[in-house]
Amino acid sequence: MESVRLIGSLLTTLAQPVVNEPGPNVNWYQPDMSSQWQIQLQGTPNTGYSVDLFVLDLFDTPQNVIEDIQASGRHVICYFSAGSYEDWREDQSRFLPTDKGRDLDGWPGERWIDVRSQNVRDIMSDRIALAAAKGCDGVDPDNVDGYTNNTGFPLTYKNQLDYNRFLADQAHSNGLAISLKNNLEQVKDLVALSDFAINESCHQWNECDLLKPFIEAGKPVFHIDYLYANDPVARSRFCQAMQQQSFRTLTLPMALDDSYRLSCAP
């Protein structure tokens, strides 16, 4: 009986997904808690900010812009949607009809995708490889919480977790850092595999405490506020609260087009 139990234990172990967890000797960029940042996803990138890293669109950012930023000792995180189909992307024709689900509310031309699909995973593997080929230091995969939305697919917590672990493994295998974008319900499961967090509006929904595991692990939380651009008094109180949580917070336009930028950094 003991040998049967040992064999069963071995088979269970072999069945677990293999992931590259960050450790003390990782070979990819890991921003630290003091890192300052900027995110811009539309328009010509403004690289004039005195920050440590920029989050820029994977497809729209020319490679020479990435190289120029890095030549000045700064880093580039390349953004792409890992959970939705966008009808304007250069690889949009690769998605199968069965990969595409319901529309994302408020985002024309964008639809949820089935993260269980091998075809979807092949596309995302190639996007991550493109980020590596363009010289990005890391990736910021968005929309990785489809299981909490009305996607048109019967996605479960386990489906999403398996997919997000797959993304982390692909990024690290390509020598890239990876963020956890929003998806607060899976923070505890994914903090060990993520190099930093990017969050939109956790303060608005009283959910910022769910990001504490990143701070406790010494990994930065880059936080975006869309509320306080026109209320300096409220924004001052808000920034104080965010600094007490050790978040790196920016007040930005919803379009993320650099039309304004207000930082809570002292």
What percent of the chain is predicted at pLDDT more than 90? 89
Q: pTM for the whole thing?
A: 0.90
- Does residue 18 lie within any of the structural domains? no
pLDDT tens readout for residues 39-87: 999 999 999 999 999 999 999 999 999 999 999 999 999 999 999 999 9
- Does residue 140 lie within any of the structural domains? yes
- Does residue 10 lie within any of the structural domains? no
**Which positions ≥6 away from 70 have C-beta within 8 Å?**
76, 135, 137
Position 19, amino acid: V
- Does residue 25 lie within any of the structural domains? no
- Does residue 5 lie within any of the structural domains? no
CATH number at residue 107: 3.20.20.70
Domain that holds residue 146: 34-263
- Does residue 7 lie within any of the structural domains? no
- Does residue 38 lie within any of the structural domains? yes
- Alpha-carbon gap, residue 151 to 122, rounded angstroms: 20
Tell me if 195 sits within 8 A of 138, measured CB to CB: yes
Give the angle 221-66-247 at the CA atoms, nearest 5°. 10
- Reported as a pLDDT band with limits 50, 70 and 90, residue 25 is low
Smallest CA-to-CA distance from 26 within 190, 195, 191 is with 195
Dihedrals φ, ψ of 100, to 5°? -100, 130
- Does residue 41 lie within any of the structural domains? yes
Q: Which two tokens stand for residue 156?
A: 């479960």
Domain count, the chain: 1
pLDDT tens readout for residues 141-158: 999 999 999 999 999 999
What SS3 string covers 4-16? HHHHHHHHHHHHC
Give mean pLDDT, residues 177-183: 98
